[in-house]
Amino acid sequence: MATNGHRSGGALRVVVLAGGRSSEHEVSLSSGEAVREGLLAAGHEVVWVEIARDGSWHCEGQPLSVTPGAGLLGADVAFPVLHGPFGEDGTVQGMLETLAVPYVGSGVAASAVSLDKVLFKELMRAHGVPQVDFVGLRAREGKAPRAELERLGLPVFVKPAHLGSSVGIVKVASPEELAPAIEQAFAHDDVVIVEASSGGREVECAVLGELASPAGEISFGGEFYDYEAKYTPGGMQLIVPARIAPDAERRVRGLALEVFAAAGCDGLARVDFFVEGEHVLVNELNTMPGFTPTSVYAKLIDAAGIPYAQLVDRLCRLARERHWRLQALRR
């Protein structure tokens, strides 16, 4: 085995994977750099592996090849700080499974389902989780069902199903805008979701293992929480605790853990909500949210009393615990 056995404490050799093939390549690199610094501060050894936009892997500037079952560069654990398709969708998780190396975050199935906005919402509907109404569209199924779309009312949000960081989202305020917005979304993905609008506050909750953070409220100046608001300095403000009623805050934290479990997630996630007075609606779940110390996830965990270096250390420990638990079951 390339991993160093089942060690419960002490310094770890951690391979950080960053970059990737998705449109969130640069965001991933920023997140990965922050994770590397956090792991070093926690006393771990870090090996940096960068995934290029073409999908090739490089370590110390050299192409990297791997062998199934042989681990990854002698790592005790891998930390795939990858966002969007080809990283957060189960593909890299599956590769790490074949390498037999523990890795931070959710497994193959939970990663795939959570990144697909339509599948995720269908799963949540099956579990009776409250959420905004939606219609899922698939390119192979042809024209969108008009009656279902009209049921959503206006405005609606049209989104590619598999992209993160609000990439490709269009707010539609009039009937004539809907068809072009759907066509535009299909240019990004072969699955599209159309969601009803909510007038509630945008609230987020971070999950770390069995811990749900305090609820945080997203305040922004634009019409909705788009890519520019997320990544432009000063484009958004995180308010912790969120300006919601105590019962709603408890509901947010409880639903975050419920949704995390229902999707089969492990390690971490950020769950996003709309809060309309006392009514709480789940929006989506991110299995690998932005990971700089100033990102929402890290700020929410910090508000729970866990600083950044301790956060990344704990995630590596959780990953190893899960790996060895599953290894024991599969013998």
> pLDDT (tens digit, 9 = 90+) per residue, 97-151?
999 999 999 999 999 999 999 999 999 999 999 999 999 999 887 666 788 999 9
> pLDDT (tens digit, 9 = 90+) per residue, 166-210?
567 899 999 999 999 999 999 989 999 999 999 999 999 999 999
The CATH code that applies to domain 133-196 is: 3.30.1490.20
Is the per-residue pLDDT at 40 higher than 50? yes
Residue 263 pLDDT grade (very low, low, confident, very high; cuts 50, 70, 90): very high
In 3D, which of 156, 177, 157 has the Cα closest to residue 166? 157
Question: For residues 243 and 224, what is the distance between their CA atoms, to the nearest angstrom?
Answer: 18
Is the per-residue pLDDT at 1 higher than 70? no
**Token pair listed for 180:** 């072009």
Regarding predicted confidence, which is higher, 188 or 238? Answer: 238
| 231 among known catalytic residues | yes
Q: For residue 282, give Cα distances in angstroms to 116, 135, 230, 267, 319.
A: 15, 15, 19, 20, 26
The number of C-alpha atoms within 13 Å of 236 and in the hemisphere containing its C-beta is: 21
Is the per-residue pLDDT at 225 higher than 60? no
| 164 among known catalytic residues | no
| 286 among known catalytic residues | yes
Among the listed residues 21, 22, 24, 213, the single catalytic one is 24
| 114 among known catalytic residues | no
* Strands 216-220, 170-172: pairing kind: unpaired
| 60 among known catalytic residues | no
Is the per-residue pLDDT at 226 higher than 60? no
- Rounded mean pLDDT of 307-311? 98
- Rounded mean pLDDT of 264-277? 98
Answer for the pair 185, 159: CB distance below 8 angstroms, yes or no: yes
- Cβ-based burial of 220 (10 A; exposed 0-12, middle 13-18, buried ≥19): middle
* Strands 62-63, 77-80: pairing kind: unpaired
CA end-to-end span of the chain, whole Å? 15
CA 156 to chain centre: 23
Domain ranges (residues) in the chain: 13-105, 106-129+199-287, 133-196
Question: For residues 79 and 33, what is the distance between their CA atoms, to the nearest angstrom?
Answer: 12
Instruction: Tell me which H or E stretch contains 172.
Output: strand 170-172
- Rounded mean pLDDT of 286-310? 96
Q: pLDDT value at position 23?
A: 86
| 270 among known catalytic residues | yes
Question: For residues 78 and 273, what is the distance between their CA atoms, to the nearest angstrom?
Answer: 30
Answer for the pair 285, 271: CB distance below 8 angstroms, yes or no: yes
Task: State the pTM of this model.
Answer: 0.91
Answer for the pair 216, 204: CB distance below 8 angstroms, yes or no: yes
Among the listed residues 249, 266, 272, 313, the single catalytic one is 272
> pLDDT (tens digit, 9 = 90+) per residue, 4-22?
444 456 999 999 999 999 9
> Tokens 């609230």 correspond to what residue?
203
Is the per-residue pLDDT at 164 higher than 70? no
| 84 among known catalytic residues | no
> Tokens 């634009």 correspond to what residue?
222
Is the per-residue pLDDT at 261 higher than 90? yes
Is the per-residue pLDDT at 52 higher than 50? yes
Q: For residue 62, give Cα distances in angstroms to 24, 50, 269.
A: 23, 10, 32
Superfamily of domain 106-129+199-287: ATP-grasp fold, B domain (3.30.470.20)
| 226 among known catalytic residues | no
Which DSSP letter does residue 141 get? G
The CATH code that applies to domain 13-105 is: 3.40.50.20
Among the listed residues 251, 270, 314, 320, the single catalytic one is 270
Among the listed residues 33, 231, 302, 321, the single catalytic one is 231
